[in-house]
């Protein structure tokens, strides 16, 4: 009566584990990227929603994202999950050709986008979202 495994059985198990790992790792990486992209989309939505609420409440756009935190639209500034920083690209209001320039109004932030470089899994660029 023999006890234990022979070399062939151990090698077969190691090959099967190797195949499973090569299948699982790329799938895991894609799921992590998909999750980060979903968080980025949600953060952008929440920031834009807070900017709109600030505008409707105060009749002017915020001059910085910290104004939204100070006015308690958020507890803290959301972080871009792709860059792992809270440094959003701010888009300011630009006057139309026939409008007078109002410095207080023009300092306001009307939109934000990500500073992340690269392309999402759907083929779009992160900073275009």
Residue 26's pLDDT is: 81
Residue 52: give the domain boundaries: 7-128
pLDDT tens digits for 38-63?
Answer: 999 999 999 999 999 999 998 888 98
Terminal-residue alpha carbon distance, the chain: 67
* Structure token pair of residue 55: 């505008």
In sequence order, the 6+-apart residues with CB closer than 8 A to the CB of 112 are 44, 47, 48, 51, 65, 88, 89, 90, 91
Tell me, yes or no, whether 1 lies in a domain.
Answer: no
Helix (H, G, I), strand (E, B) or coil at 49: helix
Residue 56 lies in a domain: yes
What are the backbone angles phi and psi of residue 45, rounded to the nearest 5°? -60, -45
When divided into structural domains, the chain yields a total of: 1
Q: Taking residues 61-76, what's their average pLDDT?
A: 89
């Amino acid at each position: 009566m023999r006890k234990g495994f022979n070399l062939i059985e151990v090698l077969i198990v190691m090959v099967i584990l190797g195949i499973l790992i090569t299948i699982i790792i790329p799938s895991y990486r894609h799921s992590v990227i998909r999750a980060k992209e979903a968080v980025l989309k949600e953060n952008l939505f929440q920031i834009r929603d807070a900017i709109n609420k600030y505008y409707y409440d105060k009749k002017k756009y915020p001059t910085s994202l910290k104004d939204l935190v100070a006015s308690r639209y958020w507890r803290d500034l959301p972080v871009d999950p792709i860059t792992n920083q809270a440094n959003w690209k701010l888009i300011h209001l630009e006057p139309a050709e026939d409008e007078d320039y109002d410095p207080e109004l023009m300092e306001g932030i009307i939109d934000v986008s990500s500073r992340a470089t690269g392309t999402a899994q759907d083929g779009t660029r992160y900073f275009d979202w």
